[in-house]
Structure 1
């Protein structure tokens, strides 16, 4: 504990304190999940969770047509593109780093939704929404097939020269033989079949476009659903040829707290598992590189994720090695060695990278929200910086949730990992920008964690309400105990999460405060006449721990007297008999000094006037007068503190009846009562009267009388 106290003192001294301030707090970022909250502009996330320079992605070719790329396939060193707006087929040839674009087909209407280069040099192109397939031979396009279905989503070559075709608006799988004979292999009850994959282990696999199902199609056999999911559309499939198949799926309107897109793996046994989930992105393309890593191309941020060792649950690790200039990646095409081509659809272009790092990369954190105006402390970061590499940071602050022209300019740079005072002016929001740089294309710095200290101005607590519970109701302690003691637990993820090692200063300060707090307490609700329970609803803008004091003041007095102090609960039960009867104001005072030593606020709120009266009314002069047909009873009732409110009688234990005072309303301290009853039968009778005051104090009297 001595070490903790010294660390706290050092942290306090690193701030220029505002007039009133709470304990220092901090934001801490580490790992893939935290870094993905920010904007990865030209940096990457490594498999170990660190932030590094992005791979050097060079624009290779950009379409000047203004359209979008819907499909891309490669054959040898050539890449073939199918586009929309306008509909076209283009051939990309590369030689010694120089690339040329050749137009094979252009149409003014529709889109080329699928292309298929063939080994004989021909290229097949599907034109939607016309359901047409063209064969391009030696630069000339010939219409070879018109289908009843309007959309053709994919074409793939089979092992014997046949072509498999997937369609939409009617979900049909066709086989087109070399002699152009067309055979319907399967029709789904969905609207679209979107993705084809051929696997040596599984054969022909089809991904659906509205139910998120992967079908296995075998000759002369009933189709088999190999995988079902909670998603609606399969967007991509790839595999290693040994039965391990990777599937990307998406949905438009995911349920709350559920992913928008996900990547699954189907094992050779047919078991499927989710590898990766994305809440705001969609996986559009999957590819295995030469090392066996799974590459995932996404939109709308144009990111490429990499899973190393995807087959091994023990070894697989996720990284984000690159981000393209296109917002949506339509295809990842492996080249030679470590070379990869990224085909983007928006804007329509091809980018290329070979594995070198960029010389400079930027990363912007998410907007940090302090909720209250804060003074900024030190920025610290943990980074590995090989020779010729560097990490620098800048900061800016403001008072709006989105940065605008009211925010401060970027301040910096900060380059000392051990800590630099943040120069940005006080505010409610803060953002950091990191620059990673390297003079060696084979080396990159690695930023592992970021720590930002800040101290918010302390605002006063406030009361929403102060009130008394029903009279007689009170709470008493049931069990006491600290969580450090032996406990029997049913361990689950939620329990373990609450026991995590503290990640920030908030948890440390809560431990300090907890030492000053009473033991954890549960209560029993009970009832006893004369008990009062004062309750309150108080809040603190800083979420400070509050301590309360209860005081009282007799009506007409000027002095407040303390009834209880150092209360951490939101109620206080006491026996009202310990106070003299009369009218009182009670006051609850909240202070936040536990969280703000020496600089706390004391805020008080009073109750409405409350009467303490534990003495029942006095009933006197209960008399009996017998007349010819009636009997009349008279008595008086008196209370010294609380007005009377209620009177009833019962004759010979029969039903209780209410009655009023002589003046017609029971509302005074002193009331006169008369009861006129029909004369009962001869003999002895008993009349019981009960009188209550407004606080429920009750007095009972009885009269035994004789009827002759």
Structure 2
């Protein structure tokens, strides 16, 4: 058993930190809030809203129905539970009697869909209300043929749904109906039902009979809580509170007379007129309550639930908002308020002093907690999806175990000390690790955390911790130090663009060129922001070369880069530039003699690690050509030819050479006239040596000249990298 608190370096209020602000060094995975703790699994462990783990009530399964839905439940003085079921098909409505040892006997079935409400009378008989288009049946104590106590089809209102039941001290039964919203009073032993009150709302969703004979009712549509005396003659209903939610799903009362209500859903309709005993002349389109639809389809109700407290003097107070849970049932047990919820099968203990605190006391093996019923040594909870009955004991679970969610360190990691904030005794802590996400197989065994916090779990990518709480033990927070194994960075792509120079945005004019990766580079993932696949805008500059790259580091380390070069056919790499922070580099082409080259980009995580721990990754570019030298034209020879009707022409010959790249094109001009395209002999310009043999027209003189027989012909020759050389000749 652990005897001390591991608090070295632990900071109050630390949240879950899978990655710290700096990628290098030791990191801390900490779990210390309710939102983090509730992601784990519990077995007898309660989670307070401040994140503390403590022993919860001993929880056990009493009865599994084998069906999907349990809607209602009650108990008799002998400890037998009565479970109202159905909801899958017509004729599935049934009531099961479950003895304290879990043995079940069916005592009622009907042709309707489900037993929606149930109450056990003092004499042991059971009232069961079925829906939709159902009735209220009375089942004799010990079972036997059921009789119809109330048939809504015989009333003027003919409600479609029966949602709740309550029994008065005089033996009368009270029925909550919907579509339309009515509360009926049925005399003891049966007889003609009378309307106690009705509203312009959609449904009367739940009932609560107070010890003094006051009947409380909650509506669906406008979320109104009513009360009416069942003992005073000609009593009028009173709207005690209009909730901010549209549906009141459950009511409960404590010994001091405080009433608790659960409100569900949004979109509350306007407050209807005060209910009256007579006919309400309002037309309403009815819809099934949101909570009932959610339970039947196993879906969520938007915006969760709220729980309210109404003091004996009528003062309302909102106790709690549950954003992800639908409250289906409330109960006051041993002076504590409990809420059964869906769609995560949680049971909460709610502080009733208005501080907004709660304790998550049980995670049931079902989606919805639907109903509570008192039991000799605890409380019964009925569930749907799947239909079961659980026992929440009055004593704490003797062996309470909490297992955290699986933590993914993203990389192979070494696990350091555990840091714990909690009681100084009363728990044992264990850790296990692995390299696959699912711990069911292929993980290490659980190993106990030592008294000094040392963890013996082997290195791996994933880790999980488990706490076993004993009597009086509690945990507030747990942090686990870990060191991720450094992984070398990866250079994903390198692109070289000749004739381009990166410049500040203000210097970028119209003459720009996009330096983009090939299309395949768009599939590279985890690129650093500087190395995105978006094209860079560079200035056109034939004297410059720009190289850009995409790189990433799985550790998230900061990276720096170096660019190396070598000529094709050479063995040694030579440094061009190092300590580059950006993912591109421009340099003067004149730094390299003309020829074919490769560039190598080396990425290093040195900014995030010591020199001895830094790792590098590299990639070599495709071969590119540096050509800054213009072609070398030979002697341009030109002679005058022709005359007569065809006019004078100049016959010119020229041979041009380039040491590095093919001749791209040539052009000529006569007497400073416009430049005209010139084809080489053979027409295709694709060689480092090209010959030109052409005839050019002699233009007529436009101004007087000293020698009209003298002409100038000029030829310009360009190589593939736009280097140009010119030559001229005088023709007479």
**TM-score for both structures, normalised by structure 1:** 0.68
* 2:166–2:207 contact (8 Å) kept in structure 1: no
- 1:71-120 CA-to-partner distances (Å, cap 9, x unmatched) read 135799997531239643357899xxx99989753448743232256799
Q: 2:388 aligns with which of 325, 341, 348?
A: 348
Q: 1:236 aligns with which of 245, 249, 254?
A: 249
Residues matched between the structures, number = 600
Q: Distance in 1 between matches of 2:205 and 2:182?
A: 13
Q: Distance in 2 between matches of 1:294 and 1:686?
A: 108
Distance 1:586 1:101, change over 3 A: closer
RMSD of the alignment, in Å?
Answer: 5.3
- CA shift for structure 1 position 361: 0.9
2:338 corresponds to 1:331: no
Distance 1:133 1:650, change over 3 A: farther
Q: 1:592 aligns with which of 584, 590, 605?
A: 605
Q: Distance in 2 between matches of 1:302 and 1:408?
A: 31
Q: Distance in 1 between matches of 2:675 and 2:180?
A: 85
Distance 1:156 1:396, change over 3 A: same
Distance 1:629 1:320, change over 3 A: farther
SS, match of residue 685 in structure 2: coil
Q: 2:558 aligns with which of 538, 541, 545?
A: 545
Q: Which residue of 2 aligns with 1:402?
A: 438
SS, match of residue 640 in structure 1: coil
Q: Distance in 1 between matches of 2:416 and 2:117?
A: 56
Q: Distance in 1 between matches of 2:261 and 2:727?
A: 91
- 1:222-248 CA-to-partner distances (Å, cap 9, x unmatched) read xx997679xxxx693558899995423
2:326 corresponds to 1:283: yes
* 1:164–1:173 contact (8 Å) kept in structure 2: no
Q: 1:554 aligns with which of 561, 567, 570?
A: 567
Q: Which residue of 1 aligns with 2:455?
A: 421
- CA shift for structure 1 position 435: 0.7
* 1:24–1:454 contact (8 Å) kept in structure 2: yes
Distance 1:663 1:186, change over 3 A: same
What does residue range 24-35 of structure 1 map to in structure 2 within 5 Å? Answer: 24-35=26-37
Q: 1:663 aligns with which of 682, 692, 711?
A: 682
SS, match of residue 530 in structure 1: strand
Q: Which runs of 5+ in 1 are unaligned?
A: 1-5, 8-20, 439-443, 479-522
* 2:409–2:461 contact (8 Å) kept in structure 1: yes
Q: Which residue of 1 aligns with 2:72?
A: 71
* 2:206–2:251 contact (8 Å) kept in structure 1: no
2:474 corresponds to 1:465: no
- CA shift for structure 1 position 574: 1.8
Distance 1:683 1:248, change over 3 A: same
What does residue range 503-582 of structure 1 map to in structure 2 within 5 Å? Answer: 526-582=539-595
* 2:82–2:97 contact (8 Å) kept in structure 1: yes
SS, match of residue 275 in structure 1: strand
Distance 1:475 1:682, change over 3 A: closer
2:458 corresponds to 1:435: no
- CA shift for structure 1 position 275: 2.3
* 1:27–1:451 contact (8 Å) kept in structure 2: yes
* 2:116–2:164 contact (8 Å) kept in structure 1: no
Q: Which residue of 1 aligns with 2:618?
A: 604
SS, match of residue 421 in structure 2: strand
Distance 1:662 1:137, change over 3 A: same
Q: Distance in 1 between matches of 2:83 and 2:64?
A: 10
Q: Which residue of 1 aligns with 2:658?
A: 639
Q: Distance in 1 between matches of 2:723 and 2:565?
A: 22
Q: Distance in 2 between matches of 1:629 and 1:434?
A: 107
Q: Which runs of 5+ in 2 are unaligned?
A: 1-7, 10-22, 187-191, 228-235, 266-290, 507-535, 704-710
From the CA coordinates, give the structure whose radius of gyration is larger: 2
What does residue range 148-547 of structure 1 map to in structure 2 within 5 Å? Answer: 152=161, 154-156=163-165, 163=174, 165-166=176-177, 172-176=180-184, 178=186, 179-180=192-193, 195-196=205-206, 205-207=218-220, 236-238=249-251, 246-249=262-265, 262-264=304-306, 275-278=321-324, 282-287=325-330, 289=332, 295-299=338-342, 302-308=345-351, 311=354, 315-324=355-364, 328-332=368-372, 340-345=379-384, 346=386, 348-354=388-394, 356-385=395-424, 389-411=425-447, 413-416=448-451, 418-422=452-456, 424-438=457-471, 444-469=472-497, 471-476=499-504, 526-547=539-560
SS, match of residue 502 in structure 2: strand
Q: Distance in 2 between matches of 1:27 and 1:344?
A: 35
* 2:245–2:264 contact (8 Å) kept in structure 1: no
Q: Which residue of 2 aligns with 1:127?
A: 130
- CA shift for structure 1 position 155: 2.6
Q: Which residue of 2 aligns with 1:498?
A: none
Distance 1:214 1:36, change over 3 A: same
Q: Distance in 2 between matches of 1:651 and 1:207?
A: 97
Distance 1:626 1:55, change over 3 A: farther
- CA shift for structure 1 position 381: 1.8
Q: Which residue of 2 aligns with 1:488?
A: none
* 1:117–1:124 contact (8 Å) kept in structure 2: yes
**TM-score for both structures, normalised by structure 2:** 0.66
SS, match of residue 34 in structure 2: helix
Q: Distance in 2 between matches of 1:659 and 1:206?
A: 94
SS, match of residue 660 in structure 2: coil
SS, match of residue 34 in structure 1: helix
- CA shift for structure 1 position 33: 1.5
Structure showing the higher strand proportion among its residues: 1
